[in-house]
Protein backbone atom coordinates (compact mmCIF):
# COMPACT_ATOMS: atom_id res chain seq x y z
CA UNK A 1 0.00 0.00 0.00
CA UNK A 2 1.15 3.52 -0.76
CA UNK A 3 -0.34 6.78 0.52
CA UNK A 4 -0.34 10.15 -1.23
CA UNK A 5 -1.47 13.65 -0.29
CA UNK A 6 -2.29 16.63 -2.47
CA UNK A 7 -3.11 20.29 -1.87
CA UNK A 8 -4.08 23.08 -4.23
CA UNK A 9 -5.27 26.69 -4.10
CA UNK A 10 -6.72 29.00 -6.74
CA UNK A 11 -7.69 32.65 -6.51
CA UNK A 12 -11.32 33.62 -7.18
CA UNK A 13 -11.84 36.31 -9.81
CA UNK A 14 -14.63 38.05 -11.67
CA UNK A 15 -15.59 36.88 -15.13
CA UNK A 16 -14.12 33.38 -14.64
CA UNK A 17 -15.87 30.02 -14.73
CA UNK A 18 -16.13 28.08 -11.48
CA UNK A 19 -15.34 24.45 -12.30
CA UNK A 20 -14.85 22.07 -9.36
CA UNK A 21 -14.69 18.30 -9.67
CA UNK A 22 -15.53 18.64 -13.36
CA UNK A 23 -18.81 20.44 -12.53
CA UNK A 24 -19.56 23.94 -13.82
CA UNK A 25 -21.02 25.65 -10.75
CA UNK A 26 -23.16 28.77 -11.23
CA UNK A 27 -21.51 31.58 -9.24
CA UNK A 28 -20.63 35.22 -9.82
CA UNK A 29 -16.90 34.46 -9.58
CA UNK A 30 -14.63 31.70 -10.83
CA UNK A 31 -11.19 30.28 -10.18
CA UNK A 32 -8.21 31.76 -12.01
CA UNK A 33 -5.64 29.41 -13.53
CA UNK A 34 -3.82 28.25 -16.65
CA UNK A 35 -6.13 25.26 -17.11
CA UNK A 36 -9.76 25.31 -15.94
CA UNK A 37 -8.35 25.81 -12.41
CA UNK A 38 -10.26 22.82 -11.01
CA UNK A 39 -8.81 23.01 -7.52
CA UNK A 40 -10.33 19.67 -6.39
CA UNK A 41 -9.05 17.63 -9.33
CA UNK A 42 -5.61 19.24 -9.03
CA UNK A 43 -5.34 18.18 -5.37
CA UNK A 44 -6.49 14.66 -6.27
CA UNK A 45 -3.98 14.38 -9.14
CA UNK A 46 -1.16 15.47 -6.84
CA UNK A 47 -2.21 12.87 -4.27
CA UNK A 48 -2.26 10.11 -6.90
CA UNK A 49 1.07 11.15 -8.43
CA UNK A 50 2.57 11.50 -4.95
CA UNK A 51 1.53 8.00 -3.90
CA UNK A 52 3.07 6.60 -7.10
CA UNK A 53 6.26 8.70 -6.63
CA UNK A 54 5.63 10.21 -10.07
CA UNK A 55 6.16 13.86 -9.08
CA UNK A 56 3.32 16.37 -9.34
CA UNK A 57 0.98 18.00 -11.86
CA UNK A 58 3.39 20.91 -12.38
CA UNK A 59 5.94 18.43 -13.71
CA UNK A 60 3.55 16.64 -16.09
CA UNK A 61 1.29 19.53 -17.13
CA UNK A 62 3.40 22.73 -16.81
CA UNK A 63 1.47 26.02 -16.82
CA UNK A 64 4.03 27.37 -19.30
CA UNK A 65 2.77 24.91 -21.93
CA UNK A 66 0.14 26.47 -24.22
CA UNK A 67 -1.50 23.09 -24.89
CA UNK A 68 -2.81 23.07 -21.31
CA UNK A 69 -4.38 26.54 -21.52
CA UNK A 70 -8.06 26.27 -20.54
CA UNK A 71 -7.91 22.46 -20.69
CA UNK A 72 -10.49 20.47 -18.73
CA UNK A 73 -8.81 18.98 -15.66
CA UNK A 74 -10.96 15.86 -16.17
CA UNK A 75 -8.78 15.17 -19.23
CA UNK A 76 -5.65 15.64 -17.11
CA UNK A 77 -7.06 13.31 -14.45
CA UNK A 78 -7.66 10.67 -17.14
CA UNK A 79 -4.00 11.00 -18.15
CA UNK A 80 -2.90 10.58 -14.53
CA UNK A 81 -5.06 7.44 -14.33
CA UNK A 82 -3.34 6.07 -17.43
CA UNK A 83 0.08 6.86 -15.95
CA UNK A 84 -0.80 4.93 -12.78
CA UNK A 85 -2.07 1.95 -14.79
CA UNK A 86 1.13 2.07 -16.83
CA UNK A 87 3.13 1.82 -13.60
CA UNK A 88 0.84 -1.06 -12.49
CA UNK A 89 -0.80 0.83 -9.63
CA UNK A 90 -4.36 0.15 -8.49
CA UNK A 91 -6.35 2.94 -6.80
CA UNK A 92 -7.85 1.74 -3.52
CA UNK A 93 -9.62 4.96 -2.51
CA UNK A 94 -9.57 8.75 -2.66
CA UNK A 95 -10.79 11.14 0.02
CA UNK A 96 -10.82 14.87 -0.73
CA UNK A 97 -12.03 18.10 0.86
CA UNK A 98 -12.99 21.39 -0.79
CA UNK A 99 -12.49 24.43 1.44
CA UNK A 100 -14.73 27.28 0.34
CA UNK A 101 -16.85 29.87 2.12
CA UNK A 102 -19.21 30.08 -0.87
CA UNK A 103 -20.99 28.78 -2.91
CA UNK A 104 -22.61 25.70 -1.35
CA UNK A 105 -20.95 22.56 -2.77
CA UNK A 106 -23.40 19.95 -1.47
CA UNK A 107 -25.71 19.90 -4.54
CA UNK A 108 -22.75 19.08 -6.79
CA UNK A 109 -20.81 16.56 -4.68
CA UNK A 110 -22.33 13.39 -6.18
CA UNK A 111 -21.71 14.57 -9.75
CA UNK A 112 -18.10 15.39 -8.78
CA UNK A 113 -17.66 11.85 -7.42
CA UNK A 114 -19.13 10.40 -10.61
CA UNK A 115 -16.78 12.50 -12.77
CA UNK A 116 -13.71 11.45 -10.76
CA UNK A 117 -14.63 7.75 -10.72
CA UNK A 118 -15.34 7.75 -14.48
CA UNK A 119 -12.09 9.54 -15.34
CA UNK A 120 -10.08 7.02 -13.33
CA UNK A 121 -12.12 3.92 -14.21
CA UNK A 122 -12.93 3.14 -10.57
CA UNK A 123 -16.15 2.72 -8.57
CA UNK A 124 -17.94 5.77 -7.13
CA UNK A 125 -17.74 4.05 -3.73
CA UNK A 126 -13.95 4.46 -3.90
CA UNK A 127 -14.24 8.26 -4.11
CA UNK A 128 -15.28 10.57 -1.29
CA UNK A 129 -15.62 14.34 -1.63
CA UNK A 130 -16.40 16.63 1.29
CA UNK A 131 -16.78 20.39 1.55
CA UNK A 132 -16.18 22.71 4.47
CA UNK A 133 -15.82 26.40 5.23
CA UNK A 134 -13.16 27.96 7.42
CA UNK A 135 -15.74 29.92 9.42
CA UNK A 136 -14.94 33.16 7.61
CA UNK A 137 -11.23 32.93 8.50
CA UNK A 138 -8.28 33.28 6.14
CA UNK A 139 -8.30 33.61 2.35
CA UNK A 140 -11.02 31.01 1.84
CA UNK A 141 -13.17 32.65 4.50
CA UNK A 142 -12.87 36.09 2.90
CA UNK A 143 -13.74 34.62 -0.50
CA UNK A 144 -10.33 35.43 -2.01
CA UNK A 145 -9.80 31.84 -3.06
CA UNK A 146 -10.76 28.19 -2.76
CA UNK A 147 -8.45 25.40 -1.64
CA UNK A 148 -8.66 21.66 -1.64
CA UNK A 149 -6.76 18.75 -0.19
CA UNK A 150 -6.82 15.07 -0.96
CA UNK A 151 -5.41 11.75 0.18
CA UNK A 152 -5.36 8.46 -1.68
CA UNK A 153 -4.22 4.88 -1.25
CA UNK A 154 -2.66 2.87 -4.03
CA UNK A 155 -1.65 -0.75 -4.15
CA UNK A 156 0.83 -2.21 -6.59
CA UNK A 157 -0.33 -4.99 -8.92
CA UNK A 158 3.20 -6.41 -8.80
CA UNK A 159 3.11 -6.69 -5.02
CA UNK A 160 -0.24 -8.50 -5.21
CA UNK A 161 0.96 -11.08 -7.75
CA UNK A 162 4.39 -11.58 -6.20
CA UNK A 163 3.13 -12.36 -2.73
CA UNK A 164 3.60 -15.90 -1.50
CA UNK A 165 0.81 -17.56 0.45
CA UNK A 166 0.87 -20.43 2.89
CA UNK A 167 -1.49 -23.12 1.64
CA UNK A 168 -2.35 -26.38 3.34
CA UNK A 169 -1.76 -29.12 0.73
CA UNK A 170 -3.77 -32.32 0.36
CA UNK A 171 -1.15 -34.43 2.18
CA UNK A 172 -1.63 -32.28 5.25
CA UNK A 173 1.67 -30.41 5.07
CA UNK A 174 1.72 -26.64 4.90
CA UNK A 175 3.79 -25.43 2.02
CA UNK A 176 4.63 -22.03 0.61
CA UNK A 177 3.29 -21.52 -2.87
CA UNK A 178 3.50 -18.40 -4.95
CA UNK A 179 0.33 -16.72 -6.15
CA UNK A 180 0.86 -18.47 -9.50
CA UNK A 181 0.00 -21.78 -7.91
CA UNK A 182 -3.26 -20.49 -6.48
CA UNK A 183 -6.25 -21.98 -8.27
CA UNK A 184 -8.55 -19.15 -7.25
CA UNK A 185 -6.57 -16.23 -8.61
CA UNK A 186 -8.19 -14.95 -11.80
CA UNK A 187 -5.59 -12.25 -12.27
CA UNK A 188 -2.61 -14.57 -12.68
CA UNK A 189 -4.64 -16.88 -14.90
CA UNK A 190 -5.76 -14.16 -17.26
CA UNK A 191 -3.64 -11.01 -16.86
CA UNK A 192 -5.04 -9.52 -20.04
CA UNK A 193 -8.67 -9.86 -19.02
CA UNK A 194 -10.72 -7.41 -17.02
CA UNK A 195 -7.66 -5.46 -15.80
CA UNK A 196 -8.45 -3.55 -12.61
CA UNK A 197 -11.42 -5.58 -11.42
CA UNK A 198 -9.83 -8.94 -12.04
CA UNK A 199 -6.75 -7.85 -10.12
CA UNK A 200 -8.97 -7.10 -7.17
CA UNK A 201 -10.89 -10.32 -7.54
CA UNK A 202 -7.57 -12.11 -7.68
CA UNK A 203 -6.53 -10.58 -4.40
CA UNK A 204 -9.83 -11.55 -2.77
CA UNK A 205 -9.75 -15.03 -4.25
CA UNK A 206 -6.26 -15.71 -2.90
CA UNK A 207 -7.57 -14.90 0.56
CA UNK A 208 -10.71 -17.01 0.01
CA UNK A 209 -8.65 -19.94 -1.29
CA UNK A 210 -6.33 -19.86 1.70
CA UNK A 211 -9.36 -19.78 4.03
CA UNK A 212 -11.01 -22.68 2.20
CA UNK A 213 -7.83 -24.78 2.39
CA UNK A 214 -7.43 -23.95 6.07
CA UNK A 215 -11.03 -25.06 6.73
CA UNK A 216 -10.45 -28.33 4.85
CA UNK A 217 -7.34 -28.85 6.94
CA UNK A 218 -9.26 -28.20 10.16
CA UNK A 219 -11.87 -30.78 9.15
CA UNK A 220 -9.15 -33.30 8.33
CA UNK A 221 -7.50 -32.72 11.70
CA UNK A 222 -10.76 -33.21 13.58
CA UNK A 223 -11.39 -36.44 11.63
CA UNK A 224 -7.90 -37.63 12.56
CA UNK A 225 -8.55 -36.72 16.21
CA UNK A 226 -11.80 -38.69 16.18
CA UNK A 227 -10.04 -41.69 14.65
CA UNK A 228 -7.27 -41.70 17.23
CA UNK A 229 -9.81 -41.22 20.01
CA UNK A 230 -11.83 -44.19 18.69
CA UNK A 231 -8.68 -46.27 18.54
CA UNK A 232 -7.89 -45.39 22.13
CA UNK A 233 -11.36 -46.52 23.14
- Residues contributing to the site for Zn ion (CB under 5 A): 8, 42
Least Cβ distance, residue 68 to Zn ion (angstroms): 11
If the CB atoms of residues 131 and 179 are measured against Zn ion, the closer one turns out to be: 131
Bridge partners, residue 166, by sequence: 176
Distances (CA, A) of 54 to 22, 46, 126, 147, 151: 23, 9, 21, 22, 15
Least Cβ distance, residue 8 to Zn ion (angstroms): 4
Least Cβ distance, residue 102 to Zn ion (angstroms): 19
If the CB atoms of residues 42 and 113 are measured against Zn ion, the closer one turns out to be: 42
Q: Which long-range contacts (CB under 8 A, 24 or more apart) does 11-14 make?
A: 11/144, 11/145, 12/143, 12/144, 12/145, 12/146
Other CB atoms within a 10 A radius of the CB of residue 189 amount to 14
If the CB atoms of residues 55 and 172 are measured against Zn ion, the closer one turns out to be: 55
Residue 148: what are its φ and ψ, rounded to 5°? -155, 145
If the CB atoms of residues 47 and 182 are measured against Zn ion, the closer one turns out to be: 47
If the CB atoms of residues 8 and 213 are measured against Zn ion, the closer one turns out to be: 8
Contact 24, 72 (CB under 8 A): no
Residue 134: what are its φ and ψ, rounded to 5°? -110, 35
Least Cβ distance, residue 18 to Zn ion (angstroms): 13
Least Cβ distance, residue 4 to Zn ion (angstroms): 16
Amino acid sequence: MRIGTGYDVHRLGDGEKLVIGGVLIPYDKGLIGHSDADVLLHAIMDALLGAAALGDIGKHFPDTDEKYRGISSVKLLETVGEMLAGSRFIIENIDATIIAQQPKMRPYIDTMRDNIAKALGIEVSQVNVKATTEEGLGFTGSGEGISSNAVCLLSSADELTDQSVTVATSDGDDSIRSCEGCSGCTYTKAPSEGKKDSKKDGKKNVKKDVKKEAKKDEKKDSKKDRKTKNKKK
